[in-house]
A and B are shown apart, each in its own frame.
Chain A
Amino acid sequence: MTQMFYPGGHGGFHGGHGSSRTTCRAALAAAACLLAAHVATAQAPTAPLGLGRAATADEIRALDIDAAPDGRGLPLGRGTAAEGSPIYAAKCASCHGVKGEGGTAERLVGRNDGDSFAFATNARLVRTIGSYWPYATTLYDYTARSMPFSQPGTLTPDETYGLVAYLLFLNGVIPEGAVMNQASLPKVAMPARDHFVPDNRQGGPTVR
């Protein structure tokens, strides 16, 4: 017999007996009994179904572009603020401003007095890479995958490291001559890093 399954696990061929009229009960019971002899109980499959195919290493490599805070995924390459500056001027400044002060796209550069993180109570604080972003690797990952807006995904690793170095330098996070690469970028201490906390909402009567 063909195996049947219901993915939600809501097996059950029949339902709604509770409202059946008495006169129908005997007939229904007999029918259910007959059917029970011939219909397997619906069950969700518990093993792989053999659909899809194995991914090749090349396929994974082509798509696996993410870079994580511990440095996993960062490519080979290097860059400094001096190398990033002309790339920024050519590919970023038209939207983000000459020095990252913002324009048609968001502001990237700036710190608040005393590195204040009172964003919830002070709407005047600037929200930038230097004042809000907790991980330097995120800047690499995002710039490489999504920028420049009109030519996304076209920067080389060296160009991306250079842009990242330039923006971190403009934000006062790294010295002007610092080289950004696979090893150094994960070690950059972002000013906002320790302000982030996990979600503590969990429903129930308390408003958090």
Chain B
Amino acid sequence: MSKPFSVSRRQALIAGAAGLAGAAAAPLAGQTADQAARARVPADPTKIQGPGATDVGARSPFERPARLSGGRRTSSQTPLQDLSGIITPADLHFERHHAGVPAIDPERYSLLIHGMVERPMVFTLAELKRFPGRSIIRFLECSGNGGRAYGRDAQDAEVSPQQIDGLTSTSEWTGVPLSTLLREAGASPKATWFLAEAMDAAVMTRSIPIAKAYDDAMIVYGQNGEALRPEQGYPARLFLPGFEGSSNVKWIRRIELADRPFMTREETSKYTDPLPDGTARMFSFVLDAKSIITEPAWPDRLTGPGWWEIRGLAWSGRGRITRVEVSADGGRTWMVATLDDPVLPKCHTRFRMPWRWNGLAATLMSRATDETGYVQPTTQALIAARGPSTSYHYNNIRAWRVAADGTVRLAGGTI
């Protein structure tokens, strides 16, 4: 599909691309970043030798995908609409932190495991890397992701997939299974929870059921083939596939095994879900199945009727996505979308659907089903279950309204 917008227009709208182009193509006064890049391109690249090899590569000066960070800079969102496939480039992985990104010397880093263990142990980074390792491709999502699509806007809104759901990313993570480390320390069979603690200025903590440690939890040090990025927990973090982002404690310095949860601030006053019956759900770790169409989406503008490909991402914290359905008529009829290989458990899954636009107003929606049989609910159904002002875990169906002029906006109201 040819881009309905030029790359520069699209990204300028999303991320304010001016100034992000880097030194290679710094725009002069009055020049856009694209104009600066274009000025350096020879009229015929087959008639001039190009520059030589470099130690560290860079994107084409015409490509400037960028995260979007909020005013307080405690988070930044992945530009979902600018990415293809399922892997998020490490420098575009979303961020969420409570006290900034700590600077940690890997030579001085160590992980302490203590509490209900036979042998309290300390592991250096080099020792963690010496254990039998494993690489997995899994998504990571903040549980606050998607609140913008929870029916709180009465009117259609000019917001991008990045602004709606940019707090999810997928990487190949490399590390050591946590169960291996617990065996090394001689974990007590009576331990039922563990505390994970960070070495940032918040000394962030979460309590995790120990069953997750024996299932698929890892201490990871690698991300997409290189060391973790500082924003993602360098030099090592907890990784809990399918669990809400905040429980995947970054910059991890300590694990304490216990027979009860610790009731830290994050798991009591923060990451809990008020419900309509006057209760609040605690330890709601698993992210239910979800999907979003990333193209076409605001700020795209379809340039005319004809064939377009509807594209998006689906994921579930409970396992594999088994089906994604797409509707172009506001949910009256649905078609099963194609899923790109690989379809991995607890991982972004790319879906596609060819669509012949007739030039009339249309409402595009996607609906994911996972291997447990869970179907992504409508906004109305999720609000009925959780209440209109609940917090976190907004996995309802997202809808985009395509106007006859080809503009695309997030549908307001509760479809």
A53 to B122, Cβ gap below 8 A? yes
Q: Could you say which of A5, A65, A146, A202 contacts B201, with CB atoms under 8 Å apart?
A: A146
Q: 1/0 per residue A113-128: CB within 8 Å of B?
A: 0000111111100010
Q: Is A8 an interface residue (CB 8 A)?
A: yes
Q: 1/0 per residue B171-202: CB within 8 Å of A?
A: 00000010010011010000000010100011
Write the nearest CB–CB distance from B398 to chain A, whole angstroms: 16
A207 to B381, Cβ gap below 8 A? yes
Q: Is B279 an interface residue (CB 8 A)?
A: yes
B374 to A65, Cβ gap below 8 A? no
Given the complex of chains A and B, what is the CA–CA distance between A122 and B278 in angstroms?
11
Looking at B134, B276, B389, the one whose CB has the most chain A CB atoms below 10 A away is B389
| Residues B260-306 near A (CB distance < 8 A) | 260, 262-265, 268-269, 272-276, 278-286, 288
Q: Is B227 an interface residue (CB 8 A)?
A: no
A205 to B184, Cβ gap below 8 A? no
A199 to B265, Cβ gap below 8 A? no
Q: Is A34 an interface residue (CB 8 A)?
A: no
A55 to B122, Cβ gap below 8 A? yes
Given the complex of chains A and B, what is the CA–CA distance between A7 and B179 in angstroms?
11
Q: 1/0 per residue A32-65: CB within 8 Å of B?
A: 0000000000001101110111110001100111
Contact residues of A: prevailing secondary structure: loop
| Residues B90-122 near A (CB distance < 8 A) | 98-99, 112-114, 119-122
Q: Is B412 an interface residue (CB 8 A)?
A: no
B202 to A64, Cβ gap below 8 A? no
Given contacts A63-B197, A122-B389, contact A199 B122 (CB under 8 A): no
Write the nearest CB–CB distance from A179 to chain B, whole angstroms: 22
Write the nearest CB–CB distance from A176 to chain B, whole angstroms: 24
Q: Nearest 9 A-B pairs (CB), nearest first?
A: A120-B387, A203-B372, A7-B132, A119-B274, A123-B389, A142-B265, A55-B120, A120-B274, A145-B203
15 more A-B residue pairs beyond the given contacts A7-B180, A54-B119, with a C-beta to C-beta distance below 8 A: A48-B186, A51-B123, A52-B124, A55-B121, A64-B114, A120-B273, A120-B275, A120-B386, A120-B389, A138-B269, A142-B264, A196-B282, A197-B279, A201-B286, A208-B385
21 residue pairs A–B, Cβ–Cβ below 8 Å: A5-B132, A7-B180, A49-B131, A59-B112, A63-B197, A64-B256, A68-B262, A117-B280, A119-B280, A119-B389, A121-B388, A121-B389, A132-B280, A141-B262, A142-B264, A145-B203, A197-B281, A199-B284, A199-B285, A200-B281, A205-B373
